[in-house]
Amino acid sequence: MRLLVALLAVAMLQPAPVFAQLGGIKKRVADRVAGKPDTTVTAQAKPKCDATSIVITADLVDRYLESFTAREAELARLARERGETGQYWTAWLKRREIERRQREYKLHRGPDYQKYRAILTRLMSGDTTAAREGGQLEQELDPNRIAVPEVKWETQAQGNGRLDAAQREAGGFSECDWTNGVVERLPLMVLYLADASADGERLALERGTKAEVAAVRARVPELAKALEISYQTEAERLQLAREDSLATQRALESQLSPADVCAQRAGLDFAKKHKDELDAAQKQGDTAALMRLGLLMAQEQQKCYQ
């Protein structure tokens, strides 16, 4: 039971999968290296485009977000087709749904996470029947339980081409704008900005101007959701860190006796109360002061065993 508690706590820290369109970009690059023909609709027309002509504006971002409705409709049509096309995209959609559930769970959101918290509460209270339910939840949230069938490269490429074409036409993008600005730059900028770090900001600015980055940043929550990117606000990140710390502490405490838990907390309380003295002694290398404080801490902890 204790092992399951620890595993459930650690499972929430794993990274979520990279979103679909970025994977499509990487695949096209790999295909070119391998000498495979590019069968996407954009490649078939092969327009001569000026890579500097596209500017990412608020209007472009709005149209891009709206175009995902057409993409989803085309996905549904692909899944309804007979043969390997329908089988492939049906399985792909089922796996994506599990990945979405898993991503929300790892961000401490959604019904699956609430179910986990209820299971964890029961486990901590000694309810051994909850362990089986915890294992079942882990299995439900494993995307690998859905096997996406192998299909011919051409079949997959044609499907991706249809998806891109439906989205491009719905958004009113020219082929040059779609190739040079939308699928090659905008998703990467969203990925970098969703990171919410100084490094992410720097990488985003390598892909666009300050004005372009600002246009994307303003819609990062919606863009991240559409592109299957894990994204949290600063408040959510802080809350997640607190919950992870508490979950780890509880998992560790579940393996200790009540007296040990009391002593551990007494030590933490002492360190917090005497933080300034401890910091000063460590900074000055005052061994005598550190020993004195250590003895006082031990005395507070010893009270838990009396």
pLDDT digits (tens, 9 = 90+) for 272-293: 888 888 888 888 888 888 888 8
pLDDT digits (tens, 9 = 90+) for 50-104: 655 688 999 999 999 999 999 999 999 999 999 999 999 999 999 999 999 999 9
Residues 185 and 57 occupy one common structural domain? yes
Residues 262 and 117 occupy one common structural domain? no
Of 30, 41, 67, the closest CA to residue 182 belongs to 67
- Residue 158 in contact with residue 39, Cβ under 8 Å? yes
Whether 251 is in a domain gets the answer no
- Which of 182, 200, 233 is the last residue before a domain boundary? 233
| Residue 255 pLDDT class (50, 70, 90 cuts) | low
Of 82, 90, 168, 115, the closest CA to residue 8 belongs to 115
Give residue 272's domain range: 256-305
Mean pLDDT computed over 150-164: 93
| Residue 109 pLDDT class (50, 70, 90 cuts) | confident
The total domain count for the chain is 2
Residues 292 and 161 occupy one common structural domain? no
Question: What's residue 100's pLDDT?
Answer: 94
Residues 228 and 285 occupy one common structural domain? no
- Residue 284 in contact with residue 276, Cβ under 8 Å? no
pLDDT digits (tens, 9 = 90+) for 159-212: 999 999 999 999 999 888 888 778 888 999 999 999 877 788 899 999 899 999
Instruction: Please state, in angstroms and rounded to a whole number, the distance separating the CA atoms of residues 224 and 128.
Output: 39
Residues 280 and 147 occupy one common structural domain? no
- Whether the pLDDT of residue 299 is over 70: the answer is yes
Query: What does pTM read for this prediction?
Result: 0.62
- The structure tokens listed for 37 are 């023909």
Instruction: Work out the widest C-alpha separation in the chain, in whole angstroms.
Output: 82
Mean pLDDT computed over 132-155: 92
Question: What's residue 16's pLDDT?
Answer: 34
- Which of 202, 233, 264 is the last residue before a domain boundary? 233
| Residue 21 pLDDT class (50, 70, 90 cuts) | low
Whether 245 is in a domain gets the answer no
Whether 20 is in a domain gets the answer yes
